[in-house]
Chains A and B, each alone.
Chain A
Amino acid sequence: MTTDKLAAVPPFEPVVLAESREITEVYCADLLSWAMGRAPEGCCWCTVMGNVNAVAVASLADVAAIVLCDGAALDAEAEAKARQQGVNILRCALPVFEAGLAAARAAGLYGL
Chain B
Amino acid sequence: MAAIRLNYDVPGDDFTRAGEASADLKARMKKLGMPSEGLRRAAIALYEGEINLAIHAGGGQILVELGPDKVEMTLTDQGPGIADIGLAMSEGYSTAPDEVRSLGFGAGMGLPNMKRYSDDFEIESELGKGTRVFMRVNF
A residues sitting closer than 8 Å to B (CB atoms) are 30-34, 36-37, 41, 49, 51-54, 56-57, 59-62, 77, 85
Q: B26's contact among A30, A41, A52, A60, by CB below 8 Å, is which? A: A60
| CB-CB under 8 A for A33 and B40, given A60-B47, A77-B16, A85-B23 | no
Candidate in B43, B107, B116, B117 with the most chain A CB atoms within 10 angstroms = B107
Majority secondary structure, A binding face: helix
The reply to whether A31 and B47 contact each other, CB–CB distance below 8 Å, is: no
- Residue B22 CB within 8 A of the other chain: yes
B residues sitting closer than 8 Å to A (CB atoms) are 15-16, 18-19, 22-23, 26, 36, 40, 43-44, 47-48, 51, 103-110, 112-113, 116-117
The reply to whether B104 and A31 contact each other, CB–CB distance below 8 Å, is: yes
Least distance between A45 CB and chain B CB atoms (Å):
12
11 pairs, A vs B, C-beta closer than 8 Å: A32-B105, A33-B106, A36-B109, A37-B44, A37-B109, A60-B22, A60-B43, A60-B44, A60-B47, A61-B40, A85-B23
Least distance between A43 CB and chain B CB atoms (Å):
12
Least distance between A26 CB and chain B CB atoms (Å):
19
Bound complex: CA of A62 vs CA of B112, how far in Å? 20
